[in-house]
Chain A
Amino acid sequence: DTEVTQTPKHLVMGMTNKKSLKCEQHMGHRAMYWYKQKAKKPPELMFVYSYEKLSINESVPSRFSPECPNSSLLNLHLHALQPEDSALYLCASSEVVTGFYGYTFGSGTRLTVV
């Protein structure tokens, strides 16, 4: 299995909703990442987990809350989002943090905040 699987693929949520994004990989990678990507822009790093511990938080607003329940799973909990948070949210993994062979990305969750 060489994939990173993200669910759901699409999500529409109101500004008062609470929702979660899920990411799963079974490649034995010990580093996992959340990225946010706006149209026609490169992905922007949000969070890095290394060996299931949060190692980098790129000054992301607290309405985004990551969680790493185990080495294969990564969640992103969303609460009280703003319309400007609408974007493609990408999960990625690598053997170790900034591993030598780069990252494997999932297909993303297209989030729309209304």
Chain B
Amino acid sequence: QQQVKQSPQSLIVQKGGISIINCAYENTAFDYFPWYQQFPGKGPALLIAIRPDVSEKKEGRFTISFNKSAKQFSLHIMDSQPGDSATYFCAAIYTGNQFYFGTGTSLTVIP
């Protein structure tokens, strides 16, 4: 059973556009929602994260929007750049207990 559902599976965006990746979860015990960025041949790297008591968090061009009632959260990449081309994984953590990855989104930013 997939604990965290992620969409889309792949995404192509023009340079300068906005990339949006969505995730949904069921378990209300999750208390931390990180996003990881992974380049080919590298391990996932923490990009940005949010706790469920916050509705939005912004770090540079990256923003997480969190809707607790809908049990959904999304990553927005503003002014997308070719260097942002990577696979993005959302995740949900139940602190001290479980860590679940989403299925991943392959982002390609076209120059």
Do they bind each other? yes
Judged by a CB distance under 8 angstroms, whether B95 is at the interface is yes
Which secondary structure characterizes the binding site on chain B? strand
Kindly state the separation between the CA atoms of A92 and B36 in the bound complex, as whole angstroms. 13
* Size bracket, chain A contacts: 20 to 34
| Chain B residues with CB below 8 A from A103, complex form | 46, 99
Which secondary structure characterizes the binding site on chain A? loop
Say yes or no: A98 contacts B102, CB within 8 Å: no
A-binding residues in B (CB < 8 A):
31-32, 34, 36, 41-46, 49, 87, 89, 91, 93-99, 101-104, 106
B-binding residues in A (CB < 8 A):
4, 6, 40-43, 45, 88, 90, 92, 96-108, 110
Closest 4 CB pairs of A and B: A105-B43, A42-B101, A102-B34, A107-B43
